[in-house]
Each structure stands twice: as C-alpha cells, then as structure tokens.
Amino acid sequence: MISRLVDGVPRRALILLGLFLALLLVAPLLVDGYILSILILVLYFAYTGQAWNVMMGFAGQLSLGHSLYVGVAAYTAAALYVHFGIGPWAGVWLAILISVACGLFIGFLAFRFGISGVYFALLTIAFAEFTRVGFDHFDWVNGSGGFFLPVTQYSVNDPLNLRGAPVMFYYILLAITVLAFLFCRWLLTGRIGYYWLAIREEPEAAQTLGINVFRYKMIAVAISAGMTALSGVFFAFYYNNLFPEQIFSMSRSIELILGPIIGGIGSLFGPILGAVVLTVLAESVTEIMHALGYDIPGIKQVFYGLCLLVVIIYLPNGIWPPLRKRLGLGDHS
Amino acid sequence: MPIELVFTVAVQGILTGLVYGLMALGLSVIFGVVRVVNFAHGEMMTIASYAAIVAFGAWNIDPLVAMVPIAVILFAVGYMLQAVLINPFINRPEHSQFILLAAVAIIMVNGLLMIFGPDARNVLVDYALDSIEIGPLLVDKVRVITAALALLIAAGLFAFFKLTRTGRAIRACADNYLGALVVGLNVKKLYALTFGIGSACVGAAGAMMTLLIDTTPNLGPAFTLQAFVIVIIGGLGSMPGALLGGVLIGLSEAMSGLFFAPSAKTMFGVGILILVLLFRPQGLLGRKI
C-alpha cells in the first residue's frame, strides 16, 4: 500500500514534498501570531479544496453547494459540545455521518433522475440555500442570532476538546491536510481513481465498459462530503461562532472552490497551491491597501476578482499543471 | 384572516413577480442561445438599479423614463462582455465559464460597494404611495405600472424573436450551432447581440425594481440566485416559462410573507425549485432535455 503511494513519483518530487512538509512543520516556530493565523487559513482552504476536488476534479461532478456540508457538520459538532458536553473527537463522527447522509441524499436524487452539469450545480446551490434559511429558523441552535461556543483562555491546550492556542489548531489541521493528501493519492492511483477518470471524461463509455456509474458517483459524493465535514468541525471550534448567513452562503461555497480551480482541478497539489496563492494574495492586498491608506470596503475583492479573471483567461487549467511540467514532475501530482 | 387581504397580497405578489420574470427572461434568453450560465445576472441588475438611483438623485429623472437609456447602456455592457470575455470561453468546460462570470460578478458587487457604500438606497417618486382600487382590492400603483411595462417589454421581445430576421437567426444559433455556422451566420456576433438583449432586459428590470424595493450592493448575488430559481422552474431557455416562473416566485414570496415569516420566503422558492428539478428537470414549460 505504501509502495502504491510513491510508485512512479520522481525522486525529486518526493524530496521537494519532504522539504515543503518540513518547512510547514517548523513554520510556527519562525513566525508571529498574524502569519500563523494566515497559515491556518491556507491549510483550511487547502484541505477543504482537496475534499471538493474529489467530487469535481476526480469524478467530474460540479458542486457549488459545499458550504452545506461545512455548515451541517459545524453545527452538529458544536451543538453536541454545547448542549450535551460531547467533545469534538466524538462529535465529529456524527457530523461526518450527517454530512455524508446529506451528500448521498442530494446525489441519489440528482443521479437517479439523470441531473448533471449546470443543473446538478444549481441543485447543490438550492439545497445549501434551503438549509441556510432552515437554520435561520432553527431555534435549538439559536437561528439567525448565531450559535456560540464558550471561549476559553489560551493558557492550556486541550487537544481532546479542541480548546487551546492557534498553534495547536495549526498542527492538527496540518496533520489532517497531510492525511487527506495521502488519502487522495491512494484513491487516485487505485481502481476507483481510474473509474472516476472514465466517468469524468466519458460517462457513457464508462457505463458501456460495465462501470456502475451511479454507484461510483455516489461514492465520490460521500467521500467528498465526509471530508468536508471535518473542515466544518474544525471551523466551529476554531472560530467559536456560527451564523447560518455566513457558513451556508453561496459566496462561502465559491470561496472554497476557488483554490482548487486556480491551483488546477483534478491534481493533488493544485488545491494546496491554489489555497496558498489565493490566501497570500488576499492578505497582501489588504495590507498594501491599508498601508496606502485606501480603506474602502470592497477594494480588496475587486482586486481579487481581477486576479481571478487573469488566471482563468491565461491559465485555463490552473497554475499547477504548467508549473509541474516545468519542474519535471510526473502527471500524477 | 380576511379574504380581501389574502387576495390583495396575492395580486401584489403576482405583479412583483412579473418584474422578476422580466429579469429572469434576460437570463433565459442568454442561456437558451449562448449556453452560458450568466452568474453575474443579479449583479448587472443592481448596476442598472444604481444607475436609476443616480439619475433620479442628480437630475430628478423618473426611473420609468431612465429605464430606456439604462437598458441601452446595459445592452452595450452585455454586448462587450460577450464579445470580449465570453466568446473565447464558448468551448471551455462549464466550470471555467462559471469562474469567469463569478469573477465578473465579484468585481461588479464590490465595485458598487466601493462607489455607493453598503447602505440601502431608494427612489421616492411622488406617486410611490398611490394605490389603485380594483373591486375590493387595493393595489399599489407602482406595481401595476411596472408589471404592465414588464409584460410590454416581454411581448416586444417575443415579437423580435418570432418576426425579425435577426431574431430568427438567433434562434437558429440556439437550435443548431453547427448548422448556423454552415449557413454562414456570424454566430459570435449573434451571441454578443443576444447577451446584449438579455442584459437590456435585466437593465429595464433593475430600473423598475428601484420603485419596488430598496437597493444595496449585496442584492446582486441574491438576485442571481433568484433569477436561476425562476428560470429553472419555468424551463431554462423558455421565454414564457421565465414569466410564469417569475409570477410563481412572486406569489410564493408574498404568501410565505403573509402566512409564515418574510425571512423564510427564499426557502419556499428554493423548495419549489428542488421539486421541479426532481420531477420535471426541464422546467414547467421547458423542452425535454
């Protein structure tokens, strides 16, 4: 199994990956709190982008409603913690279960009725919106007023309850991101990865070859929703507050998927690179605008939009595929 | 609850729904022909709304008059958008087109936010509070006027697509892209024209909308979603379907506001959308996919 993860990967790629990981491991020792918070954001988007990529990049199903899985999982874990005192590492399983159930429900309805492409994307938006308004009126978690976790002093780290300093969150998130990266590599190099590739490129041909298209699409949705659930739980315990308006919003879904699209859909390293580029870009624009004294609301997003426009026009496959070609790394990275 | 109240609210909802329908008609025309989902549709509408607000604030021009130049300006914006940005993306995968238009939408919303700030603005014409008596019902005058205008514009559009040579050429592109190329139609130019026409619709709707609701930059994404809901309920690409979908959504919003909470109104619209997608994915009046 281990050999399958590294088979066919050039030595240079492994060394580069090792160096990158080592850099991430020592990073908290070198940087201040502000940079650390940005690194956490980068990892958050990298991980969630990786999760979304399973569905879109691997199996070719465009979901524009992934905020649904983030939100449902975040609320589940937070409610279990606040109402029943159940810690996040126990609650996360129920959160994953509920997210996967939501994903399977949407997937079942859509794939059964032959809904695909734009229609599928719009269906995912519709379900996320539906849930958002539902949670606005869900009094058990305080509706649109927002749901809050008790905030602790950052004196002691309590990893079992996910209460503590940002450094603890950083390392937990780093571990999750690395595991997700390996898991996706494992998926992609296995039988299921090739089935997904066939379904993504030629669904009809895949069907003819005897691949159960419906089943493998459902598996993709389940894995993607389950992985996304984890980032929802993390979100709840890191930020300590949840508002349906924010967590389920369509713009949040779009934010989540920009990373992998900019980085390169369907590649393993694309979501990570995309998250780095976008987050660093957004933060530096804020800083530069602040330094120049232009604190106009919206100016950052306009710049953000312009960068997106440039990338999508000139690098249609994202930043990573041309970059890995230049670096001489194989196609499966 | 008095039955007159229910009927009054229903009629108001239907009248508002016709303006929604005009907005969605723009989206439907664009998707039906160009096969690109305009993710910046609601944002274009808010641009038109702000143009109407500025025209009223600076020169005291009634939005119903300003509507004409605004529609022309939006036509030009749409034409350029298609000609410059979207035409090179016609053969790209859907998610590429989506990102392109999402980027345009982000720029539009936040551009408006930079210029006008986040506060809600409105237009107060002197007949804003007048109402018309229809039997036992008391209906807002502005809603009657805007609904009538929306219907008139829609009728004009139907006539354009049925009767004129250009309209027929555009329909030919929609029916058979390759065939249209073979008979020598300038498809890219017709696409740009179509995007312009769809944008003009949404421009007119945006100007009218200032009489019905307060405008903020954040209305853009909400109305993009609204337009999608309407168009899919009616049938993507079907022009009468867009109007019907608009009326249904207007009605469901009004009714949910009356019987439940006004904040739950989108849930009903989206609920109808989910049902339609599952049981009649081509929409109420759409052709079989």
Q: What is the pLDDT of residues B241-275, one digit of tens each?
A: 999 999 999 999 888 888 887 777 778 888 888 88
Which DSSP state fits B264? G
Q: Answer whether B219's CB lies under 8 Å from B46's CB.
A: yes
- pLDDT at A330 (0 to 100): 62
| Of residues B99, B105, B274, nearest to A312 (C-beta) | B99
- pLDDT at B125 (0 to 100): 82
The answer, for B262 touching chain A at a CB cutoff of 8 Å, is no
- CA atoms of B280 and B169, how far apart (whole Å): 29
More confident site: A168 or A327: A168
Residue A255 pLDDT greater than 90, yes or no: no
- Please enumerate residues of A whose Cβ is less than 8 A from a Cβ of B: 56, 62, 64, 109, 113-115, 117-119, 121-123, 125-127, 129-130, 133-134, 136-137, 144, 250-251, 254, 258, 261, 265, 296-302, 304-306, 308-309, 312-313, 316
- pLDDT at B267 (0 to 100): 81
pLDDT digits (tens, 9 = 90+) for A77-120: 999 988 888 888 888 999 999 999 999 999 998 888 777 777 78
pLDDT digits (tens, 9 = 90+) for B164-176: 999 888 888 888 8
Tokens representing A262 are 């900019």
pLDDT-based confidence at residue A40 (cuts at 50, 70, 90): very high
β-bridge partners, B139: B132
- pLDDT at B273 (0 to 100): 84
User: Nearest residue of B to residue A315 by CA position?
Assistant: B96
| Of residues A62, A114, A302, nearest to B95 (C-beta) | A62
Cβ pair B107:A306 closer than 8 A? yes
- Only one residue has tokens 């992609």, namely A188
- pLDDT at B289 (0 to 100): 46
SS (H, E, C) A269-302: CHHHHHHHHHHHHHHHHHHHHHHHCCCCCCHHHH
- CA atoms of A252 and A48, how far apart (whole Å): 12
Low-confidence stretches of chain B (pLDDT < 70) are: 287-289
Q: What is the mean pLDDT of residues A194-212?
A: 88
Provide the 10 A C-beta neighbour count for residue B122: 14
- From the candidates B34, B37, B95, B112, which should be mutated to test the interface with A, based on the most A CB atoms within 10 A? B95
Q: What is the mean pLDDT of residues A301-314?
A: 82
3-state secondary structure of B121: strand
User: Nearest residue of B to residue A305 by CA position?
Assistant: B103
Cβ pair B274:A62 closer than 8 A? no
